[in-house]
Amino acid sequence: MGWMRTAERLGAALALAGAALSLFIAGLVTASVGLRWATSSGLPGDFEMVQMAVALAIFSFLPYTQLRRGNMLVDTFTIRLPARVLSAIDAFWDIVYAAAAALLGWRLAVGAADAIGSRTSTMVLGMPVGWAIMACAAMAGLLALAALVTAAGRFRTEP
């Protein structure tokens, strides 16, 4: 139970950081649109910052969503199964989700290393993109761990 509580607290902190980043993005877009309306010229590179920030925000929400079992669930064919069977099915899919997140995180890390090594940057602001990709890779790894934590919890307890 201690692992789940710790994981949920870390997931919540990461999700709150993603929420703050989302609010920043909203303010940035509002300011840029307002400037474009008032002066026919928006903030330079606003779309670059929005692209990176949205990716970071989305990845920041995924571990907490998994830990809170907030992903969509379709139970049309399984609704009448015994609780133990449902728990085993859910645990299986949590493990599949963990594997998919781990694969995604691995490939993102490879891409990030390449982007960092080649000093890939955005066109307008010249911001390096590799570090944002690496942060997404790390959060995909956290998602994989969160899915494993929830799978373990489903095996241990009766829903």
Q: What is the pLDDT of residues 67-94, one digit of tens each?
A: 988 877 777 777 888 888 888 888 999 9
111: its two tokens: 């891409």
Domain count, the chain: 1
Q: Is the pLDDT of residue 159 over 50?
A: no
Q: Which residue is associated with the tokens 């830990």?
A: 67
Greater pLDDT, 158 or 66: 66
CA 3 to chain centroid, in Å, comes to 20
Range of the domain at 126: 2-156
Helix (H, G, I), strand (E, B) or coil at 121: strand
pLDDT of residue 4: 74
| 42-51 mean pLDDT | 90
Q: Is the pLDDT of residue 157 over 60?
A: no
pLDDT of residue 87: 87
Q: What is the pLDDT of residues 87-102, one digit of tens each?
A: 888 899 999 999 999 9
